[in-house]
Every structure is written in structure tokens, then in C-alpha cells.
Chain A
Amino acid sequence: MAVMAEPVAAQVRRSSLWSRAFESRNCLGAMFMVPAIAILILFLAYPLALGFWLGMTDTKIGGAGRFIAFQNFVSLAKDSVFWLSVFNTIFYTVTASVVKFAIGLYLALLLNERLPFKSMIRAIVLLPFVVPTVLSAIAFWWIYDSQFSIISWVLIKAGLITRYIDFLGDPWNARWSVVAANIWRGVPFVAITLLAGLQTISPSLYEAANLDGATNMQRFRHITLPMLSPIIAVVMTFSVLMTFTDFQLIYTITRGGPINATHLMATLSFQRAITGGNLGEGAAISNAMIPFLVAAILLSFFGLQRSRWQQGGRD
């Protein structure tokens, strides 16, 4: 109280530069931002820029590089392994994302039903997403083992096949195997986030549709999908980003083999840059991923724009 009663003049006199800085929003704001901005500039923005630069040099591990402009990209354009990795990345992203979306949406709709132990089921469903990817990938590695695969054993016992399947030895088998592992890991994320979206849809919409005699399919098509589309756009952007830049699953299960058949751009850049020591070339491969990522982000951004209009909001 005493402080409050003090004459204003005394307060002004006492306020040093320091305390005035504490009162100004801009100064205080800047001070609050220091820790986050310092870390993000040093370890996020600067590496991003350095990556662009490295991609245009022939830097090797343990030596300074020369600026060689677009030479890395020129040699990559002639590199069949690079193009194979681009193909694999697109194949992996497209197939895994489509299936993840289909199963994820289906699972979300199932979980949105009246179920006993609902929250426990939801907690269990999310487990594959929580457990470290590399560690669950080790389990898949063992499931896909050429001699002791449980899948082959079951299929043989069921009389469906006669020989053990060479999951990771044949290029296409290996591709589908890693896609399956990726789907396994990604479905919970898609399902649980879409479920959160489903729960925000007002039941009165469905009741109104019921009164109008809408069938299940019509309710899904004309209520659920339009109401869900903003969340679908965001979830699928994240899912596509995570799948496109995936590294852990491939590195654990196949290391890019057999004969580069499952190399993604991320694993190839690791192999060239860290294992092979050609930092410049590896950085160039990483940089080649950026246009795809930007395209994915823009796509979802425009997806969002459209859905805001669909919901009757302002454009």
C-alpha cells in the first residue's frame, strides 16, 4: 500500500532504464523470446541455410569443400540409384499414405461407436505410435526374417504357400514389407486424430439427416466427410511429411537393400553423406526433398482454405 501511495514523481525518478525495459512490451517480449530464438536460429535456421550451401559444394567429412554450383545435382540427375530412391520415396509415400488414411478413417469411425472400455481401447490403439519406431521396427525385422518368419510359418501350416517367403531379399517383397510396417506405425496417429475430429461433429446433424431419411452412406458422404475435411487435410499433411522423410523404419529393416530397392531419399542421403563421407552430395539429396515437401504443405493449405468455405464460414 505504501508504494501505491507514493507520489508519481518519485516513481518516475526511480525507474531506471532497466525497469523501463521491463515495462515495455517489445523489450520484455524480446527478452522472453531469447532462449527459443537462440536455439532455433543456431540449430534450425542456420543448418537449413548451411544445407543449401553444402549441397552446392563437394565437402567431404574432415575436409573443407569447394563451391561447385549445381554439379552435385547434375551428377545426381545421371545417377540411376538416386532416381530409384525418388521412385521408392514416392511409391512408399503414396501407397502407405492412402492405406493409412483408409484404415485410419475406418478405425476412427469404429472407435466413435458406442463401445465398452472405449478409453482403454483408444489407449491401446495408440501404442504403435508411442513406442520408439526403431524398436518396433526390430520386431518387424524378426517377423520378416527369411528363415524364421512367423507369417511364412502360418501360411505354410495353412497350406497356402509351400516355401518360406523371402520378404526382404526380393525388391518388390521388400518394398511392400516396409510399406506394411509404416502403415502399422502410422494408422494409430491418423485414427486417433480423426477420432478427435469426429467427436466435435454435433450429433444433431445426424439426427436431422435421420429425420430426412438419409442412409448410412449418405450421412457419411454428406455430413461426416465435409465436417472432417479440415482435420483430414492437416492430418494427412503431417502423415505425408512423416512418411516422405521417413528414415528409421528403412534403416532398421532393410538399410536400403536389397540392391537399393528400398532406399528412400533420406536413407540414401545418410548413406552418401555419413557412411560414404560425401557431405556435399548427401546434402544435395536432402535438398532435392524440399520441393516435394513444399508441394505437400501447399496442397494441404489449399485444402484447408476450401474446407473453411464448405463449413459456411467466411472465405
Chain B
Amino acid sequence: MTTMDDQSVGMSYLESFPRKFLRVYLPLGLIIFFLLFPFYWMAVATFKPDAEMYDYEKYNPFWIVHPTLEHISKLFFDTDYPLWMWNTVIVSVSSTVISLFASVCAAYAIERLRYKGSRYVGLAIFLGYLVPPSILFIPLAAIVFQLGLFDGNLALILTYPTFLIPFCTWLLMGYFRTIPYELEECALIDGASRLQILTKITLPLSLPGLISAGIFAFTLSWNEFIYALTFISSSENKTIPVGAITELVNGDVYHWGALMAAALTGSVPVVILYSFFVEYYVSAMTGAVKE
């Protein structure tokens, strides 16, 4: 068996470098270039003075001759951008926390309490995951308006969980399933209540799942657009994606520099968070599909 393994690994070494270059590295490099170019272009436009931005004859568009912070300072001091950033943070954090709490309870009840009909409830929650925001936003707008939540952070904090809870519950159900039942039975015999079991045994053991669900939920709410666009009307209540696209365009005048600066600075927090938790993020994304 070991010789077999050795041989199959050895076979790939037989491939000459030029051959592997053509077969793997070159296409991989091209695809990665295609995937990363828009970010490069975003960054270049952010730090490029207007004079260079709109003059491709004198300056090579791929490079910056005189880097400037004028777009970023315009964005931070002449627009409501800091408020949008603040709103985005508040909304993302609150809706993530609410969703995690609700999902932990629901997933635990479905997986471990196994009450009557829990399987069907689990299935129903999964189906909720398949309902896209694009068909919900019109009736939701009517409901948000009726409840008097229109044009406030609360409208988003309460509606984002509709796509976060199904996802988180589903993911956490998978994690809870991997925890041996015997641990809970031992705790029950020792006289622990269900709540104690949940907080002292199940949750600590499923911490990776909690982090995965939390990170993914946070990025999803940071990225959300259609609800924020529909439910928010005044500039100071907008989130970054909505603010950038509605407030930085005056009629036909596009402030490209400021737009790009908003795109870049709005992406950076998510990317930093993502870079710390790549493995968790990937396991959340693929876990949702693998089940």
C-alpha cells in the first residue's frame, strides 16, 4: 500500500516544470489576474489625482505618478461616509448577534431536544434559506413601514436575520450533530439542566462552528444591499454600499475618485476580518453546501 502511495506521488514529480507551467501555473495565473484586477484598479483610482485619472495620453493609466489622499479625505470629511461606516458596523454586529443567539437555540432544540415535529421545522428553516431577498423586499417594505421602523437601523437589524438565521441554524445543526450524545447523557445524570448542558458542553465544543457562522453572517450583513436600499431614505442612516451608490453620484457627475475610495475603504474591514478567519469562512461556505 505504501509503495502504491509513493508511486502515485512520484508520478507527479515526473512531470517536467515547463509542462506543469503550461498546464497549471499559466491558466491559474491568468484566472487569478482576472479575479484580482478589479481590486487593483479600485486601489489605483483611489490614490490617483484627478489630473492623471482623466488623462490617459500623458500618464500611463496603470500607474500612479503623484499618489494623493484627496479622494479619501473628501470622502471622510465632505460626505456622510463615517456615518455610513458606523451604521454598517452597528447593523452587521447587531444582526449577527441576534441571529447567532436565535440559531443556537433553534439548532440545539432541533438537533438535541428532538421535540415533536423538529424534523419538519428543520426542513422549513432550510427552505427559508432558499427564499431570496429579491422577492421579499416589497412586502417587507410595507411591513417595515407599518411597524414604524422605516428609515432607521432597526429596520435592517430586524430584517437581516431572515436570511442569516436559516443559514446559521443549518450550519450549527451540522456542528451539534458531531458532538457525541454520551457527553450530554453524562451531564444529565450529573444533574445538569438543559441550559447548563447547552452553555457548558455543547457551545464550547462547537466553538469553531459558532465562529464560522458568525463570520459568514457578519460578511453577509455587511454586503447586504437591497433591503438597505429600500428601507433607508435619509443619507445619515445609510449603509456603505447604499450610501456610495446613491450619494456620491450627483446627476451626471460621477465622483469616480471618491466612489473608488468608498469601494476600497468599505471592502477593507471585511477583507481584514476574512483574512484572520479564512478557514472558518471557507468551512461555513462549503459546510452549507456539503450537507
Q: Are B290 and A110 in contact (CB under 8 A)?
A: no
Q: Give Cα A34–Cα B256 distance, bound, in whole angstroms.
A: 47
Q: A54-B138, A135-B266, A279-B138 are in contact. Are A40 and B166 (CB under 8 A)?
A: yes
Q: A124-B36, A289-B134 are in contact. Are A47 and B245 (CB under 8 A)?
A: no
Q: Give Cα A211–Cα B162 distance, bound, in whole angstroms.
A: 52
Q: Are B35 and A43 in contact (CB under 8 A)?
A: no
Residues of A within 8 A of B194 (CB): 22, 28
Main secondary structure of the interface of B (DSSP, over half): helix
Residues of B within 8 A of A3 (CB): 191
Residues of B within 8 A of A184 (CB): 34-35, 38
Q: Are B138 and A143 in contact (CB under 8 A)?
A: no
Is B210 interfacial (CB-CB < 8 Å)? no
Q: Are A231 and B222 in contact (CB under 8 A)?
A: no
Is B271 interfacial (CB-CB < 8 Å)? yes
Q: A279-B138, A287-B135 are in contact. Are A270 and B230 (CB under 8 A)?
A: yes
Q: Are B12 and A33 in contact (CB under 8 A)?
A: no
Q: Are B102 and A139 in contact (CB under 8 A)?
A: no
Residue of B nearest to A46 (CB): B143
With beta carbons under 8 angstroms apart, the residue of A39, A43, A131 that contacts B143 is: A43
Q: Give Cα A48–Cα B137 distance, bound, in whole angstroms.
A: 9
Binds A, one of B68-76, B179-187, B274-282: B274-282
With beta carbons under 8 angstroms apart, the residue of B128, B139, B159, B266 that contacts A283 is: B139
Choose among A59, A128, A138 the residue with the greatest number of B CB atoms under 10 Å from its CB: A138
Binds B, one of A70-78, A169-177, A234-242, A307-315: A234-242
Q: Give Cα A189–Cα B282 distance, bound, in whole angstroms.
A: 10
Main secondary structure of the interface of A (DSSP, over half): helix
Q: Are A143 and B61 in contact (CB under 8 A)?
A: no
Q: Give Cα A189–Cα B219 distance, bound, in whole angstroms.
A: 14
Q: Are B102 and A135 in contact (CB under 8 A)?
A: no
Interface size on B (CB < 8 Å)? Answer: 96
Q: Are A44 and B39 in contact (CB under 8 A)?
A: no
Q: Are B158 and A43 in contact (CB under 8 A)?
A: yes
Q: Give Cα A111–Cα B191 distance, bound, in whole angstroms.
A: 50
Is A4 interfacial (CB-CB < 8 Å)? yes
Q: Give Cα A274–Cα B114 distance, bound, in whole angstroms.
A: 43
Q: Which 7 A-B pairs have the closest CB atoms?
A: A29-B115, A32-B109, A36-B106, A196-B286, A134-B241, A245-B132, A35-B102
Interface residues of A (CB under 8 A from B): 3-4, 22, 25-26, 28-30, 32-37, 39-40, 42-48, 50-51, 54, 59, 103, 106-107, 110-111, 113-115, 119, 121-136, 138-143, 145, 148, 150, 153, 184, 187-189, 192-193, 196-197, 203, 206-207, 210, 231, 234-235, 238, 241-242, 245-248, 251-252, 266, 269-270, 273-274, 279, 282-283, 286-287, 289-290, 293, 297
A–B Cβ pairs within 8 angstroms, 23 of them: A25-B113, A36-B169, A43-B140, A51-B139, A54-B138, A54-B139, A107-B28, A110-B31, A124-B36, A125-B31, A126-B281, A130-B281, A132-B225, A133-B223, A138-B260, A139-B42, A142-B259, A143-B38, A193-B285, A196-B282, A241-B132, A270-B137, A286-B134
